[in-house]
Amino acid sequence: MGLPSWWIRAASLLGVLVLARLVVLRGRDLPGSPWTAAAILRDDALVALAFAVLDRLLLGRLRLAWVLYGAAVLWTALNTPVFRVLSTPLTPSMLRGARGALLDSVAHHANLEGALAFLAPLLGGALLPLLLRRAPRASFIAAGCAALLIAALGTIGLGRVDTAGLHRSAFIALLGTSLPQAPGGAGTREWRASPIPEASPAEDLTRLRGSLSGRDVLLVFLESAGAAYLRPYGASEDPMPGLTALAREALVFESAYAVYPESIKGLYSVIRSVHPALDTSAETLARARGPTLATELSTAGYRTGLFHSGRFVYLGMDAVVDSLGHGTAEDAGAIGGRRESSFGVDEESAVRRILAWVDGLGRDERFLVTYLPIAGHHPYETPRPGPFPEAEEIDRYRNALHYADSAVGALLDGLAERGRLERTLLVFLGDHGEAFHQHEGNYGHTFHVWEENVRVPLVIAARGSPIREEIRIARAASLVDIAPTVLDLLGLVPPAAMEGASLLEPGPRMALFFTDYSLHFLGLRDGPWKLIHELESGRSKLFDLAADPGEREDLSARHPERVEAYRARLLEWSGWQRDRLLRLAESAPGR
């Protein structure tokens, strides 16, 4: 009597999943625990068992079994090179982003290693059914028992071993990560007040309030610019010498944090001065309207323009841009350029367009220009060679930052030629950071909230103003504070609907941040302390950044009360913020 076909398919799929997992894990450091193997293979065992049950009860009757087996093998193969590079299988958010503007980044990783990672599961999926037809029945029974044991032990093991998400299945991730229900907040808006008040730096900048009244405003979002890579923040290399020079007569915030390590929600948090929320789409944020920096300055008589050398038709960015209230909003399609990629156009073309827009203003008209260069984004392509040798990817990144710096320098020169620079408030910020495996598996920017992902430069300067020297501010700052700070410097009162607070005030506030592109992480910075909480596992990590800026020593076991206070605050805030934004979106006109 021959073997049942569903045995062969289920066992073959299990073999393919294990093979793919080995490819993903090759060269990685894993926790040295007896629970690690079971924890890492738990999801693979569950998927294989679920497929076996489905095959036995339904698929064989519908004659779809081998078709769906092939689809399962193909999906595993597609995920393997992605998982290897990014330490995550594809999620719905990633699938939405893996088109259009990201084609250049995808193509960058279409190399031999990626091809082999893709082909290994395909080859296994083709050969295993042929090989297993001759296997004894006892081996299938043993494989089934082993899968059940791994599923049981792995479930226990995941509570004892931090796999950093490397156990996840491409199939389970496709369904989306279910968000653990966070308790709702009590209605307070003081989420950034520390639950453990302590003495901290209290730099008082209120003497600058209103000192830049009547100035134009230039707000530059430096793409993927992490603070640690820049000279004003201690880097040995200097990829942005123009920014370095500007920082010598500027407010330099040493501990500024992006709210979310992605450009679109970052843009929303800065201009709207509102934190986005977990599992809330860009379109939902766009419907949750309110006052913005652009609308406030428009009311004060400013002309407002937003210029992006990339494309708005990306992950809901067009909806967010429309909601921010700029009188003019142009992307690569409207700007045009000499050099185009899937990301956008060259920065020189964007700068020319901004200056042409300024030229169209009356001499006495004030402006807000929001400039979003794309230079700095992976795959770090530039139209001309930079000063750094490109043997390492981080040097290609530095060259991209250098190109962005030169474009901004050209913009400042153009404003100076028009007699505008002396009357312009300059704000430079990183929209988020960029990671190069400083922590195991952390690459790019969207998947984690380590320092390299969320700590960014924030430099505020104004020629001919009271800011005549470098003033370094050590306390934590959030990019959500930028709009109120700009309004405060201009002598305007920030609206109460803005969640940020002016950075001219000396009071300490926590910076709150999160990401939900793959795993769900919440985080905060409070004085020297930083907490990262993973919702899926319930684990929290605590770091003293004053003593450990590289986030290497987890102190959570030594300070359980601090961890619990921070964790409770983050969970309450995240639930309250999500519910609040959903209510605003639902009550928007036209809904």
Strands 471-478 and 250-257: parallel
CA distances from 424 to 146, 179, 218, 369 (A): 68, 44, 7, 10
Q: Residue range 485-492: average pLDDT?
A: 98
The amino acid that residue 79 corresponds to is N
pLDDT for the residue 104: 57
- Mean pLDDT on 476-491: 98
pLDDT at 109 over 70: no
Arithmetic mean of pLDDT over the chain: 91
pLDDT band at 507 (very low <50, low <70, confident <90, very high): confident
Q: Are 543 and 553 in contact (CB under 8 A)?
A: yes
Query: How is the chain split into domains, by residue range?
Result: 5-174, 206-366+373-586
Residue 187 confidence (pLDDT) = 64
User: How far does Cα 38 stand from its chain's mean position?
Assistant: 30
Q: How far apart are CA 275 and CA 260, in angstroms?
A: 9
Tokens of 447: 């998947």
Closest to 259 in 3D by CA, of 400, 458, 405, 527: 458
Give the largest Cα separation in the chain, rounded. Answer: 92
H or E element in which residue 133 lies:
none
**What is the C-alpha to C-alpha distance for residues 4 and 16, in angstroms, rounded to an integer?**
19
pLDDT at 257 over 60: yes
Nearest 5°: phi and psi at 530? -135, 130
How deeply is 526 buried, as exposed, middle or buried, from its count of CB atoms within 10 A (0-12, 13-18, 19+)? buried
Residue with tokens 């793919």: 20
**Percent of the chain's residues with pLDDT above 70:** 93
Q: How confident is the model at residue 176 (pLDDT cuts 50, 70, 90)?
A: low
**pLDDT score for 110:** 64
Of 106 and 368, the structure prediction assigns the larger pLDDT to: 368
Give 511's contacts (C-beta < 8 A, 6+ positions apart). Answer: 192, 255, 256, 257, 476, 477, 478, 524, 525
- Burial of residue 560, with CB atoms counted within 10 A of its CB: 0-12 exposed, 13-18 middle, 19 or more buried: exposed
Burial class from Cβ neighbours inside 10 Å (0-12, 13-18, 19+) for residue 138 reads: exposed
* Contact criterion met (CB below 8 Å) for 161 and 36: yes
What does the DSSP 8-state code read for residue 361?
S
Q: Are 425 and 212 in contact (CB under 8 A)?
A: yes
In 55-136, alpha helices (H): 60-62, 65-86, 92-97, 103-108, 112-132
Compute the distance between CA of residue 371 and CA of residue 305 in angstroms, rounded to an integer: 8
Task: Give just the sign of the alpha carbon dihedral 316, 334, 412, 422.
Answer: negative
Work out the burial of residue 342: count CB atoms within 10 Å of its CB; fewer than 13 is exposed, 13-18 middle, 19 or more buried.
middle
Give pLDDT, residue 177. 53
pLDDT bracket for residue 539 (50, 70, 90)? very high
Tell how far CA 350 is from the center of its chain: 24
Can you tell me the mean pLDDT for 448-463? 97
Q: Helices (DSSP H) in 103-240: which residue ranges?
A: 103-108, 112-132, 137-158, 170-174
- State the pLDDT at residue 185: 60
**What pLDDT does residue 6 have?**
86
Query: Encoding tokens for residue 126?
Result: 């083709």
Q: State the Cα–Cα distance between residues 548 and 556, nearest whole angstrom.
A: 14
Instruction: Check residue 86 and give its pLDDT.
Output: 83
124 contact partners, CB below 8 Å, separation of at least 6: 15, 16, 19, 20, 73
Q: Residue 136: left (phi > 0), alpha (psi -120 to 50), or beta?
A: beta
Closest to 330 (Cα-Cα) out of 369, 273, 366? 369
Query: What single letter denotes the amino acid at residue 147?
Result: A
3-state secondary structure of 552: coil
Taking the C-alpha atoms of residue 452 and residue 131, their distance in angstroms, rounded to an integer, is 47
Lowest mean pLDDT among 11-15, 334-338, 482-486, 519-523: 334-338
Report which DSSP code applies to 340: B
Which residues 6+ apart lie within 8 Å of 289 measured at CB? 323, 584, 588
Pairwise CA distance, residues 510 & 188, whole Å? 15
* pLDDT (average), residues 513-529: 94
pLDDT at 316: 76
Which of 249, 191, 252 is closest to 430 using CA atoms?
252
What pLDDT was estimated at residue 146? 92
What is the pLDDT at residue 88? Answer: 86
Spatial strand order of the sheet with 540-544 comes to: 511-515, 521-526, 529-534, 540-544
User: In one letter, which amino acid is 148?
Assistant: L
Task: Specify the pLDDT at position 90.
Answer: 82
Distance from C-alpha of 318 to C-alpha of 305, rounded to nearest angstrom: 14
* Strand ranges (E), 335-389: 367-372
CA-based angle 508:510:513, to the nearest 5?
Answer: 155
Residue 566's pLDDT band (cuts 50, 70, 90): very high
Residue 297: closest CA among 159, 495, 117, 451: 495
Question: Which tokens go with 8?
Answer: 């062969």
Q: For domain 206-366+373-586, is the CATH number 3.40.720.10?
A: yes
pLDDT of 587 reads: 83
Determine whether 490 is exposed, middle or buried from the number of CB atoms within 10 Å of its CB (0-12, 13-18, 19+): buried
Band of residue 591 on the pLDDT scale cut at 50, 70, 90: low
Whether residue 103 is predicted with pLDDT greater than 90 in this model: the reply is: no
Average pLDDT over residues 435-441: 91
Q: Across residues 528-556, what is the average pLDDT?
A: 96
Which tokens sit at 414? 């153009």
* pLDDT tens readout for residues 37-83: 999 999 999 999 999 998 888 766 667 888 899 999 999 999 999 88
pLDDT over 90, % of the chain: 73
How far is 456 from 448, CA to CA, in rounded Å?
14
Distance of CA 285 to the CA centre of its chain: 16
